[in-house]
Amino acid sequence: MIHTHIAEILCVKPKTKKTKKTKTMEEDVKNKKTKKTMKIEGEIVVMKKNLLDFKDTMASLLDRIHELLGRRVSLHLISSLQPDLGIRSFFYSTRLHTYPNEKRGRLGKAAHLEKWVTKIKTSVTAEETAFGVTFDWDESMGPPAAFVIKNHHRSQFYLKSLTLRNFPGGEGGAIHFVCNSWIYPSHRYRCDRVFFSNQAYLPSETPELVKELREQELKNLRGEEKGGELKEWDRVYDYAYYNDLGAPDKGPDSARPVLGGSLEFPYPRRGKTGRKPTKSDPKSESRLALLNLNIYVPRDERFSHVKFSDFLAYALKSVTQVLVPEIASLCDKTINEFDSFEDVFHLYDGSIKLANGHTISKLRDIIPWEMFRELVRNDGERFMKFPLPDVLKQSRSAWRTDEEFAREMLAGLNPVVISRLKDFPPKSNLDSAKYGNQNSSIREEHIEPHMNGTSVQEALEQNKLFILDHHDALMPYLTRINSTNTKTYATRTLLLLQEDGTLKPLAIELSLPHAQGESHGSVSKIFTPSEKGVEGTIWQLAKAYAAVNDSGYHQLISHWYVFELQTHAVIEPFIIASNRQLSVVHPIYKLLHPHFRDTMNINALARHVLINSDGVLERTVFPSRYAMEMSSSIYKSWVFTDQALPKDLLKRGVAVEDPSSDNGVKLLIEDYPFAVDGLEIWSAIKTWVTEYCSFYYKNDRTVQTDTEIQSWWTELRTEGHGDIQHESWWPSMQTRDDLIETCTIIIWIASALHAAVNFGQYPYAGFLPNRPTVSRRFMPEPGTKEYTELEESEEVAFLKTITPQLQTLLGISIIEILSMHSTDEIYLGQRDSPNWTADDEPLEAFKRFGKSLEVIENNIIRRNNDKRLKNRTGPVNIPYTLLYPNTTDYTREGGLTGKGIPNSVSI
């Protein structure tokens, strides 16, 4: 029998001349007869591509035929002790050759998956199937370090793991290979697929016979020889600019600037797709049709079938929720307008309430499609209606109170902007030569009547004054923004910290560029609290304008910028660099990989339908077509090291240094739910990362000599964040502390920070009057028709100012989807496999991490039940659970839970 040689399998081109057999080779062949061969029993777990893919039924049938014809799935184990001495033969082109490769381990005999025909079912559910596999193995070859798999079937399958049972010398009698990868038919690859055991190695500690395999796999992932448009089976991680947001071939109104690669529009890099440029603009990449969701990301970065079905189910449900009220509004006297708050409340009232209990659970169990199982939920949701947002569950008016307006700056969906006021009046950092005087017009006489007897100077000295300041971020864009249908202001909101720990709004400043031009400064109006009459209505409108600013800032900066810079945009370059420069056996890859799950896929979908020209974001958030330009402008001031929570709190002035505390800071607002819970989460993450990194890196020298870490960090800065690569704040990555802090920040951003600004969207903004995203007209002036309307009906004036009906429906549909936890969610402190590493000490440290998160869960429950901490629940009575880890939850129910920290930016 002719055996396949490792050089053919692992893509090493053969030399053109024959290699003579040496004496060593001849002796090896002779001694081979005396070597002891043993049977190794293994189990391999796979999942077929059946769910929501009806074309795969035929492919599954052809796979069975291929099995019967001998075209099977084969596996070869690779020795960690014996080099490949070229004693096996293989066919290369049409000639028989033998080639040695002493840098790689010897290849074992082929083994095949057993009983494929009878075990694999043609199913529409995501089912795992375990196969037996038996290897013939020379005992002298030692434990295998890797294996090669070849798929000779017609279609791909998902390879979850391979476990070798009762292997002599294996930990606990077993060797684990955690794969979690799609395996396409072998003709789709230039090189066959290689998987390593779960043993972690620094590059310098890698067994000699594994080093070349390790390097070759990284070369494959970099795809340096791959050109043209990338296909779903390509495993290429590379960088590209954000040049796929516009559609210039449709006309200039649909064109958008390229973000990244310029001083004017700096931006992090995204994953490369290789699509052709547009005809109108060679710098812009062509786009797929709107309904074509097959955007290239490496196949293993795409949603699981379960998650994708959840995503489609949420989208289908949302479409029905938009269409029903829109059709009804066609018969209304005011099309595309809500006439009263009751009209808005009706979005959540009535409809069909699905059963909650045993009956509906049984029904869901017999529905095979995951998508339809999600449509028929058993959490009490109403069908064809939006779920009632948490902000309305206890009271339909509490959201309008000043206390709740202020509390949401500490415990709402955007608690990462509020800062301490250090100078009064507030000052601007905009260039006065370009924008004139942009300092605040708020004075003592505006706010002191509302300060409970405290003077401005006393409040400053006692650290009692705080500000929600969106002025500088928005002012440079207001002229262009207000040239659209949007009519809005740049806002500043001043607040007083009261004795009971709550914040009290003191004044809201609404500013516009001077009518004679931006260089003449701003024109501002100051509004102060009032409860009754026209003044009370005007105060409610002033709060709405401030909320519009905050909603836009949240979507572009705290969510997308934290979703892409602090979570989405900024994390993607880390994912690309990690896969290009860190081997899967590298300890830091194993540490960070769970926190990259699904991020590239959700970012690609966001570019496709959310942040693209005329996409959902432009249609529902006030900056409109200038939205992404704004996020690019703010990226200029982004600092990676400031994303560490303690540094962020210090920078915003809401905390002061305190060496005696665990995190080195003391909060100035003691009842600040995001910060209190967040610091506990930060501390737990940093402790876990410190223990993990200290196991592999005994000193700074180990970091400095780690070639993969140094290449990773260099590429991350110079390529992934290339537009800001020369900033002095980048860590040098020369010490173990640099590595620990960097990994802690990455995990914090991808998990807890994203959870804090994402999963509160529907609970608070699902009722859009509480968090409007658009304002359509300016504050009514006395003597105008709008002012008369305001005097006659507060509700009509308010609703005609904020987001109209269709945009409201579209907006809350999207945030409902974005606020959902998937049914395959993996939370902080959980891993998808208990065998993710073979090292006992890191496994024990990870268990301690999980235990510390369970303690935090109990702390959060205790604080939420403490009536003295008024900001934990507020007038709307919503307990703060956005940073509740949910580590103890393995139910996999998903939905609008309002709690849980997923490992990654996965929605």
Contact assessment for residue 442 and residue 494, using Cβ atoms and an 8 Å cutoff: yes
| CA–CA distance, 724 with 737 (Å, rounded to integer) | 22
Give the three-class secondary structure for 357. Answer: coil
Q: Which residues of 694-713 are buried (b: 16+ CB within 10 A; e: fewer)?
A: ebbbeeeebbeebebbbbbb
Helix (H, G, I), strand (E, B) or coil at 790: helix
Look up residue 153 and give its two tokens.
């079937």
Q: Can you list the positions of beta strands (E) in 86-167? A: 90-92, 95-97, 101-107, 111-112, 128-138, 144-151, 157-165
Amino acid identity for residue 790 in this structure: L
CA atoms within 13 A on the CB side of 672: 23
Of 563, 585, 583, 559, which is closest to residue 572 (Cα–Cα)? 563
Look up tokens 């942009």; give the residue.
438
d(CA 405, CA 527): 15
Of the candidates 224, 165, 188, 174, which has an alpha carbon nearest to the alpha carbon of residue 40? 165
262-301 core/surface letters (b: 16 or more CB in 10 A; e: else):
eeebbbbbbbbbbbeebeebeebbebeeeeebebbbbbeb
Q: Where are the alpha helices (DSSP H) in 749-784?
A: 754-758, 761-765
CA pair distance 813, 609, nearest whole angstrom: 13
Alpha-carbon distances, residue 459 vs 441, 447, 645, 734 (angstroms): 18, 11, 26, 44
Q: What distance in Å separates the CA atoms of residue 412 and residue 389, rounded to the nearest whole number?
A: 13
Task: Give me the helices (H) in 442-532, please.
Answer: 444-447, 456-461, 471-481
The vertex-850 CA angle with 848 and 854, nearest 5°, equals 115
User: What is the β-pairing status of strands 465-469 and 490-497?
Assistant: antiparallel
> Residue 785 in contact with residue 797, Cβ under 8 Å?
no
d(CA 570, CA 321) in angstroms, rounded, equals: 33
**Measured CA distances, 112 to 73, 76, 109, 115, 136 (Å):** 6, 9, 10, 9, 11
Active site residues: 559, 568, 754, 758, 907
d(CA 817, CA 308) in angstroms, rounded, equals 12
| Cα 369 from Cα 114, distance rounded (Å) | 28
Q: How far apart are CA 674 and CA 656, in angstroms?
A: 16
| Residue with token string 């009878």 | 118
Q: Is residue 269 within 8 Å of 572, Cβ to Cβ?
A: yes
- How far is residue 744's CA from residue 892's CA, in Å, rounded to a whole number? 26
If DSSP codes are grouped into helix, strand and coil, which group holds residue 493? Answer: strand
